[in-house]
Chain A
Amino acid sequence: MKPTTERFLTHTEQALQNAELRGAVQRGTASLAQRRHEAVTDRPDFEELREWCATVKAHTLDHLDRYLEQFIASFEGRGGQVHFAADHREARNVVAELCQGYGVRRVVKAKSMLSEEIGLNETLQGIGLEVIETDLGEYILQLANDFPSHIVAPVVHKTKEQIARLFHDKLGTPGDATPEVLAARARAILREAFLTAELGISGVNFAIAETGSLVLVENEGNIRLTTSAPRVHVALMGLEKVIPRLSDLPAFLAVLTRSATGQKITSYVSVISGPKRRADTDGPEVLHLVIVDNGRSAVLADPKLRDALRCIRCGACLNSCPVYQQIGGHAYGWVYPGPIGAVLDPGLLGLKSTKLLPQASSLCGACGEVCPVKIPLPELLIEHRRRSVEQGLTATGERLAIGAFSFLAQRPALWGGATVLGRGLSQLLSHQGYLSGSWLPALGAWLKERDFPAPAKRSFQQRWREGLRDEK
């Protein structure tokens, strides 16, 4: 997917004017956050689980070379084939060549944010393949020619009424069909696709180094069908997905499903250890795994940003984020929105084109509080801001203002003089104790939708010196 992160402000403006989108996002995130809250409360040792998962992920990343080697050896030992892709182009090409090599015409796809990241569908369609998204949310997006706005709930930005209209236009269901009717229609179409596709593409939630297994977590059953019905299964995974042992998995599942959808466990958890064996009645004949870098090794090499690679893509930080709740995921302009996007996107795409994302946070800390692998998201947002300052990416006005502010804040006499001046001036401009003119320099933007209190005639420190100090 081509990033449009530079247009964040325009996107935000559009999102704020789209009441239908904002309503859908606010309802969706609120419901997911509530379900998470209940599921987490239900598990008294959740904090310990978080701590443990964070530690395991951090350890694995610190020794990723070793764990990747171990994983690959185990995976190949079970008959899987591994491919490496340095960037999105290589990743797309590997998959395209596999499809061509197997003479494939029809491809079914399970939900994979990585496939969105590398823009896989366009490439496959470009070489004449029929590509069918089988996750219901992704299927809706494919029908609408739209893209995901959330890591877990890709279509959270649409209302069920919008989806009913879409199905009516594209698939002929009644315009006011219920979600059950719509799902049944999609199911019938997708069932046919599973049975006729020659190749299935999936992502990977966890890769177990010890056993060479791929773990996939889902509710709809489409992943299990995608990875077992077609003759060929191609899995795509970012190189950070490895965990050491099979016995580590239960803890990760416990935090992932609770954080993502508030479930104790999802309807399906598939542990895929190699292609179909001789005695198996089903499963793919061949299993390929494409391990994608696409900027990740640079993030791994960065001692501060490395923590962001712990992410298990649960989406809890999006649901908890009051900014995401207002503007939705498309505003961020790339596959990973919300707090994790604001931290990860600059790492993967570079800070220059993504510099606004880490600024678009009130640093409220809600994301850091819910992250199941304890990524210090607020700290990393500030880290990106520091780098923006270091790289000269911040506005000149801002640099000058902060410079002047800091100069004065260390010089109480000048600070006193400047604040007297400032207060006097504001007193002149204020009306009934408030400033409200949107023409005012610097404050103008603030004043568009809010009043600003006029500073006091006398500061507290003046009042202190002029009598309060001696009162008893």
Chain B
Amino acid sequence: MRVALFVTCLADQLFPEVAVAAVKLLRRLGVEVTVPDGQTCCGQPAYNAGYQQQAREIAAHHLAVFAQADYVVLPSGSCTAMVACHYPELFDEPGQRSEAERLATRSYELCTFITQVLGVSDVGADLNGLRVTFHDNCHALRGVGISEAPRKLLRAAGAELIEADGHDVCCGFGGLFSVKFPDVSAAMARTKLAGIAATGATVLTSTDAGCLMQLQGALRRQGGSVRVQHVAEVLWQGVA
């Protein structure tokens, strides 16, 4: 099987090791990975901020880049939700709209792709009782219904999953929200981190680098011992 990886701009620029881990996991499961040239961003920042025209233009570019792909895999639930939930509504022109709808059904968040399309829950990782707490990214959870897939993979790898109080509550990132309302955003991160600290977990993980960036950034200021890592990296470390 052949999949196109959409690295996502955040992983590409800030957390390349997340995408590297995703590639290695997929390859280990017998998947041929391509990284189509010309990929940039899904356009979510513009869309969420209300810049519909700009979001549409970025989406059109993204559609063109991934036009040939059978499957597009993303190491992000949030960007998956952008493509899956919002791309089709951006286009009025029937041709583009059906292209967008086609891409929406072919785009999968990494863990969901592994469990649903590949039908795999054991990626061959051994996490040996690692105490992990999972943060649900809002758009992954409420946009595209991702909740069980990453947990399944972590459990199958032998991790001990400890659910935090408020595991499905927003971390306060919200893209531009965290810049426009930095104090509210930081207060949300503090509330979130209190729930996480109470689990006593060794690792905090999620499908989304954005949330982890927010929580790690706040954690560095307020102190705390939990290690913050994307689920692709956590799983890959159990393999390697």
A460 CB contact (under 8 Å) in B12, B46, B50:
B12
Given contact pairs A322-B191, A446-B179, A402 touches B170 in the complex (Cβ within 8 A): no
- Quick one: closest B residue to A422, CB to CB? B13
Which of A239-247, A306-314, A451-459 makes up part of the contact surface?
A451-459
B157: min CB distance to chain A, Å: 22
Q: How far is the CA of A403 from the CA of B92 in the complex (A)?
A: 22
**B179 partner residues in chain A, CB cutoff 8 A:** 442-443, 445-446
Contacts of A55 in B (CB 8 A): none
Residue A27 lies at the interface, judged by CB distance under 8 Å to chain B: no
| B contact face: mostly helix, strand, loop, or mixed | helix
**Whole-angstrom distance between the alpha carbons of A455 and B16 in the complex?**
9
Determine whether the beta carbon of B183 is less than 8 Å from that of A13.
yes
A133 to B38, CA, bound (A): 64
Interface residue from B11, B174, B218 paired with A361 (Cβ < 8 Å): B174
CB neighbors of A among B1-15 (8 A): 7, 9, 11-15
Q: Is A180 interfacial (CB-CB < 8 Å)? A: no
Q: Chain A residues near B224 (CB, 8 Å)?
A: none
Interface residues as binary, B187-225 with A (CB distance below 8 Å gives 1, 0 otherwise): 111010000000000000000000001101110110000
Chain B interface residue number, banded = 35 or more
8 Å CB contacts to B: which residues of A386-415? Answer: 386-389, 394, 398, 402-403, 405-406, 408-410, 412, 415
Q: Is B236 an interface residue (CB 8 A)?
A: no
Q: Mark contacts of B168-179 with chain A using CB atoms, 8 A cut-off: 1 yes-contact digit, 0 otherwise.
A: 011011111111
Are A409 and B43 in touch, CB under 8 angstroms? Answer: yes
Q: In the complex, are the beta carbons of A459 and B12 less than 8 A apart? A: yes
Note all chain A residues with C-beta closer than 8 A to B61: 409-410
Which residue from B27, B51, B191 sits with its C-beta under 8 Å from A389?
Answer: B51
Q: With A322-B172, A365-B143 as given contacts, are A446 and B178 in contact (CB-CB < 8 Å)?
A: yes
A-chain residues with CB within 8 Å of residue B182 when the two chains form the complex:
445-446, 448-450
Hey, which chain A residues are within 8 Å of B38, CB to CB?
412
Chain B residues, Cβ within 8 Å of A422: 13
Interface size in chain A (residues, C-beta < 8 A): 62
Q: Are B35 and A469 in contact (CB under 8 A)?
A: yes
Residues on A with C-beta less than 8 A from B57 are 406, 410
Is A451's CB under 8 angstroms from B52's CB? no
The residues of A that contact B220 with a CB separation of less than 8 Å are 434, 450-451
A423 touching B13, Cβ below 8 Å:
yes
Q: Are B221 and A12 in contact (CB under 8 A)?
A: no
Q: Which of A368, A389, A449 contacts B221 (CB 8 A)?
A: A449
A406 CB to closest chain B CB (Å) equals 4
Are B51 and A366 in contact, with the CB atoms below 8 A? Answer: no
Q: Which of A16, A363, A403, A458 contacts B16 (CB 8 A)?
A: A458
**Cβ-based interface call for B185 (8 A):** yes
Q: In the assembly, what is the distance between CA of A386 and CA of B90, in Å?
A: 13
Cα–Cα distance between A472 and B28 once the two chains are bound (Å): 9
Q: Distance (Å) between the CB of B48 and the closest chain A CB?
A: 6
Q: How far is the CA of A238 from the CA of B14 in the complex (A)?
A: 50
Q: What are 21 A-B contacts with C-beta separation under 8 Å?
A: A12-B183, A13-B183, A322-B169, A327-B184, A362-B175, A366-B138, A366-B169, A387-B50, A406-B54, A408-B40, A409-B40, A410-B40, A419-B12, A449-B182, A450-B182, A450-B220, A453-B216, A459-B12, A460-B11, A461-B12, A464-B35
What is B's interface to A at a CB cutoff of 8 Å?
7, 9, 11-17, 19-20, 23, 27, 35, 37-41, 43, 45-52, 54-55, 57-58, 60-61, 138-139, 142-143, 169-170, 172-189, 191, 213-214, 216-218, 220-221
Beyond known contacts A398-B49, A460-B20: 10 more, CB 8 A cutoff: A327-B184, A359-B181, A362-B138, A386-B50, A412-B39, A419-B12, A448-B186, A450-B214, A460-B11, A460-B19
